[in-house]
Structure 1
């Protein structure tokens, strides 16, 4: 990790985790400050609804607060927090189809939206439009592929860390990333 990495020194995370596990609220606040933005990015790209993202983060940090007394450090604190966030987000994703609150997204509709974003003359920059197109294209990915891609490409986790978050092997992570990259490449063909 670089010196400018907001996740900071993993050894400092170990100290914060031990202190928070003993009930130190300031240490826990430092954990939230340090890792909250990355968890919010991750949850925000998995869940389309801001209220769902906020609830997911609240559930994640509540689970962390409750779990820190037993946190053994088998994985890094950062990896453990992403695992908790994945559990919270996937629980919401599983409920959506039953509740009808998240409509099915036809591939044709998403592809049309991708084209529309690029052709919109009111966009202030190509980068902004590309980022929006990527967000739309990410909706095509199943949650596990989206998780693998986000954790690798956005949060820069290693394959082993992603495997820990997903509860799978590094070989499975490679497969998830390959399928995600292929789908995104196809969806963003016009942006090349």
Structure 2
């Protein structure tokens, strides 16, 4: 292999592996998977306590790479790891949005359905859904709510929220600041 096609350990670079995967090279795909699946699963677990869902998301991410439905562009920020993270985080958000907030919370907490007393987390969620905060959130503009959803509820970084929402990073920061200010005014 030529210089630039191998990393400092002598292994093929991610770009080389992706070109081979595009030609359906199973060994290249397995090498890419071994290189990235573990850290991707760990990072997803910071955002979702459901290990089965995280495992499914990792598999779906790599399946989309294998099928070619996800296309890497060399100019993408973060290189191949950033690209894989964006695919996985979007799939996780889509999966979580498919469930109701209460179902996600119960699933994340592992609460058995036969427990009579709600947990502290469930009480907080009920306050968010039905209390003063819920009203204040409902009064936010859709643009401000979307930024809070992405950065606070979904736990995305400013850059990830920017990519997800299709707006500049500075706009995400400005909207988040405006949303916090508006919530603070309404709740004090």
Bin of the TM-score, shorter chain as denominator length = 0.5 to 0.7
Q: 1:33 to 1:175 in 2, by over 3 A?
A: farther
Please give the secondary structure, in 1, of the residue aligned with 2:98.
helix
1:35–1:78: 8 Å Cα contact kept in structure 2? yes
Secondary structure of 1:41's counterpart equals helix
Alpha-carbon shift at residue 147 of structure 1 (Å): 2.0
Query: Is 1:86 aligned with 2:85?
Result: no
Alignment gaps of 5+ in structure 1: 1-7, 110-139, 150-158, 180-192
CA distance in 2, matches of 1:22, 1:31: 14
Mapped partners of 2:161, 2:13: distance in 1: 21
1:176–1:70 CA distance, 2 compared to 1 (3 A): same
Return the structure number with greater relative CO, CA threshold 8 A, min gap 6: 1
Alignment RMSD, CA only?
A: 3.7
2:106 equivalent to 1:97: no
May I ask how many residue pairs the two structures share in their alignment?
129
Equivalent residue for 1:142, pick from 144, 153, 157: 153
**Higher Cα radius of gyration:** 2
**Gaps (5+ residues) in structure 2?**
1-8, 107-120, 127-150, 179-188
Secondary structure, aligned partner of 1:96: coil
User: Tell me, what secondary structure is at the counterpart of 2:46?
Assistant: helix
Instruction: Give the TM-score normalised by the residue count of structure 1.
Output: 0.53
| Counterparts in 2 of 1:102 and 1:174: CA distance versus 1, 3 Å | same
- Which 4+ runs in 1 deviate beyond 6 A? 176-179
Offset at 1:177?
A: 8.7
